[in-house]
Amino acid sequence: MVTSFPVRPPRAALALTTLLLVLAGLLGTALITPPARAASLTQVGSFGSNPGNLAMYAYRPDNLPAGRPLVVLLHGCTQNASGYFANSGWRKYADQWGFALVLPQTSSANNSSSCFNWFQTGDTTRGQGEAASIRAMVAYAVATYGTDPARVYVSGLSAGGAMSAVMLATYPDVFAAGSVGAGLAYRCASSLTEASGCQYGPTNRTPQQWGDLVRNAYSGYSGPYPRVAVWQGQSDYTVVPANGAQLRDQWTNVRGVSQTPTATRSLTGGTTLKVYGDDDVRLYEISGMGHGLPVDPGGAADQCGATAAYFPDTICSAYHDARFFGLDGGAQPSPSPSASPSPSPSVTPSPSPSPSPSPSPSSSSSATPPGACVRAGNYAHTTAGRAYQSGGYTYAKGSNDPMGLWNTFITHALRQTGPDYWVLADGQC
């Protein structure tokens, strides 16, 4: 008689079976337990007084504690909060260095091109309009998120850059520092007609006069004024480079320092940085860059953002601004040259109108020699086929460079760079 005994599996087989059972259990748990949601840009339904009729969007990195800084970001014309958030590069440093973002958003109900009304006195006066709405968003963040009220900053592009200057002037008690990208000096204009003049040509004011405009924005204020960084493309024909110099004059005067730089440095992307006073004011001048906020896609520490219309691939402005604001946890160190960019495509609404051209007469542009430069009134440019009008505004044919109101009183120089392709060339003809 043969007695049979149960055969024991080897220890290795037992261990493998146990491991498989554990993994199966974990997999089952994963299938029934939803993953944790990552932080995202979220609209805030109600944030308090809103006389400027703006929408509020906010981004808070996961597990952000109270007592952290806040950066307010202001988009350009025809942009929105989500497009600016996606392309500007600020999210990278909010996650990395731990601070919140608030992105106010305007609409066509306020301005036909969804621009912040940086030129309307009702929106650029302390306690009124859009400026008061943005201030209310900051107060909401301080009360609700526990934001450090001593570390609040503002940055913006184009009309948003001009509105950034508005916030720095009207609420110097709220903002510790700010940056203005392709923007304009505070109270350069107080009407739509004046706004067009500021955009396309220099305004004749002394640094003292520019500074007085800021000081009068909050009469009786005796505290410190914010530090300011200015970003200006040297081939910008939408907000001409003279505006960068005027911002420099305004804020150096307000800060009480000379208009002569104390240091000049060369950075990546054809950027020249001029520093004024004890890093009171910075002026970044970018050779060959047109209208936009500079980004520099890539994985290096000083690279950020995504290229898109009016987000040119030159240098990561968010990185330099975040360090200028002291958001990296240290003092405001001197910038150093950074790595070459690695382009990354993205899609976002453009910050300048791109209207469909209205029919215009057959032009003489085809008979104009390539490279020719023509100065004329907007109406004459349109009838000659070098430009077109849409909604009462004029745009260069081909490039869509905005030229202001469609009338005979506003003149510009246009240069032909290709068949039926014209660009603004004021100051170059």
The predicted-structure confidence for 11-35, as pLDDT tens digits, reads as follows 444 444 444 443 334 333 333 333 3
Q: How many CB atoms lie within 10 A of CB 414?
A: 29
Does some domain include residue 366?
A: no
**Does the annotation count 158 as an active-site position?**
yes
Does some domain include residue 70?
A: yes
Check whether residue 209 and residue 293 sit in a common domain: yes
Check whether residue 321 and residue 379 sit in a common domain: no
The CA distances from residue 336 to 321, 339, 407, in Å, are 13, 10, 47
Check whether residue 70 and residue 186 sit in a common domain: yes
Three-state secondary-structure class, residue 426 = coil
- Strands (DSSP E) contained in 268-410 are 271-276, 281-286, 373-377, 387-390, 393-396, 402-405
Tens of pLDDT, residues 40-73: 999 999 999 999 999 999 999 999 999 999 999 9
Does some domain include residue 11?
A: no
Residue 352, pLDDT > 90, answer no
Check whether residue 48 and residue 197 sit in a common domain: yes
Residue 217, pLDDT > 50, answer yes
Query: Which band of pLDDT confidence, cut at 50, 70 and 90, is reported for residue 345?
Result: very low
Of 289, 309, 325, which residue is a domain's last?
325
Does some domain include residue 20?
A: no
Q: Which residue would you say has higher pLDDT here, 277 or 353?
A: 277
Average pLDDT of the chain, as a whole number: 83
Does some domain include residue 115?
A: yes
Does some domain include residue 22?
A: no
Check whether residue 295 and residue 415 sit in a common domain: no
Tens of pLDDT, residues 145-173: 999 999 999 999 999 999 999 999 999 99
Q: What is the CATH number of the domain that holds 72?
A: 3.40.50.1820
pLDDT at 335: 39
Q: Which residue would you say has higher pLDDT here, 67 or 414?
A: 67
Check whether residue 122 and residue 47 sit in a common domain: yes
Check whether residue 85 and residue 197 sit in a common domain: yes
Residue 360, pLDDT > 50, answer no
| Tally of structural domains, the chain | 2
Check whether residue 313 and residue 380 sit in a common domain: no
Check whether residue 292 and residue 376 sit in a common domain: no
Give the integer Cα–Cα distance in Å for 61 and 37: 11
pLDDT at 4: 36
Contacts of 116 (CB under 8 A, 6+ apart): 74, 104, 106, 110, 123, 130, 156, 159, 160, 162, 163
What residue numbers bound the domain in which 396 lies? 372-424
Backbone Cα Rg of the chain = 26
Query: Which band of pLDDT confidence, cut at 50, 70 and 90, is reported for residue 428?
Result: low
What percent of the chain is predicted at pLDDT more than 90? 67
- Strands (DSSP E) contained in 169-321 are 177-181, 227-233, 263-267, 271-276, 281-286
Query: In the predicted model, what is the mean pLDDT of residues 181-197?
Result: 95
Annotated catalytic residue, options 113, 114, 155, 158: 158
Residue 393, pLDDT > 70, answer no
Tens of pLDDT, residues 294-338: 999 999 999 999 999 999 999 999 999 999 999 998 544 443 333
Does some domain include residue 200?
A: yes
Crossing angle for the helix pair 129-145 and 159-170, nearest 10 degrees?
A: 70
Check whether residue 304 and residue 416 sit in a common domain: no
Does some domain include residue 122?
A: yes
Check whether residue 392 and residue 274 sit in a common domain: no
Query: In the predicted model, what is the mean pLDDT of residues 270-296?
Result: 98
Check whether residue 300 and residue 178 sit in a common domain: yes
